Amino acid sequence: MNGLVEEPVIRDVPEMTAEADHKEALAARLAQRLFNIHNKPPVPAPRFLIGQTPICTAGNLTTICAPPKMAKTSFVGAMCAATMTPDPQHADCLGVASRNPDGYAVIHFDTEQSPPDHHTVVEQAIRRAGLKEPPPWFLSYCATGFSIPDAGQGISIVLKHAAAKFGGIHSLLLDGVADLVANVNDPEESNFFVNELHSLAISFAAPIVCVIHFNPGTEKNRGHLGSQLERKAETNLRLDRDGDAIIVWGEKNRRSPILKANGPRFVWSNEYMMHVSVACAIDAKAESEHGLLQLEAEAVFARAEKQALRWGDFLAGLTRECKLKESGARKRMDKMIGAHVITKDVLGFYTLTQ
């Protein structure tokens, strides 16, 4: 100015200092995550299981996806019930098992149900658990109608306060995760949001369960958000209808797959006014086959008018009764023995198993 060359001025020193501090903090975080063969992290105990298969572990995401009106909310309610039932052997939690021995907070965040419907869902979960009221560490919020920023901030607030009050977070269940983003088809927003969820799961050492719909008319998780959740989740469960029953299964899992044939199955019960478990496909088939073998064996003894038969006599009777060739009758008899329908006594005779 005025012919003079101004001395260069270094501006934004606070920003530069902040950037340096951030880099230093980032370097410290990376150092904590550096692989060390002598410092193996403890293997987390699963927070939820289906059968013997873990579906939720600390620091991970799990998805539950299905078309609309496929009992996803009932299944999430059963997961909640599994955490608080005092009688897991007899409570019907739709195939899900869980434990919460430390009394950590279980947080259920519902963005889809109206307040009255949300209340009904939680009451049902409490009844399913065999309780009259929930334990103090079970926290269920109806956030339907909250703005997206408020709902997201609310989750962080609840996690922080609950962790401080109850010593930790057992799990966070988000029923309606797509309501927490403005555009499920926006890659940038969806990727950022899923990364934030995963970060929360790691920070609070808890699994986060995300319930999401399929795209209309497809079997693909909704939008880019659903695709990103599927990629990042340790377990991807889906609910499908088979007649009157709903089947829970999943093949896109980091651990063991839960095959459709042996996944949990449940139906609506007017008697109990909630969904109840029924035999899975494999168990139902085995039960049906056992019943058929039982009827055939009873028919052989009834036709012979005896309660005990030698091996050759039973085989001949089975051949006639079922119109089988001898080779087929031998196989059928072996099945009866293996299924404990008939039993060989000390004298070598075969009788109906008592």
pLDDT digits 0-9 by tens, 204-263: 999 999 999 887 777 778 889 999 999 999 999 999 998 889 999 999 888 888 988 889
- The architecture that CATH gives domain 284-352 is Orthogonal Bundle (1.10)
Rounded-to-integer distance, Cα 95 and Cα 153, Å = 33
CATH class of the domain comprising 48-278: alpha beta
User: Which of 212-216, 296-300, 309-313 comes out lowest in average pLDDT?
Assistant: 212-216
Strands 208-213 and 169-175, bridge-based pairing: parallel
What is d(CA 272, CA 278) in angstroms, rounded to the nearest whole number? 14
Domains in the chain: boundaries: 48-278, 284-352
Give, as one character, the DSSP assignment of residue 318: H
Instruction: Name the DSSP letter for residue 250.
Output: B
Annotate 293-336 with DSSP letters as a single string: HHHHHHHHHHHHT-S-B-HHHHHHHHHHHTT--HHHHHHHHHHH
pTM for this model (two decimals): 0.74
As a whole-number percent, the residues of the chain with pLDDT over 90 amount to 62
Tokens at 173, concatenated: 């269940």
Q: How confident is the model at residue 115 (pLDDT cuts 50, 70, 90)?
A: very high
Half-sphere exposure of 95 (CA within 13 A, CB side): 26
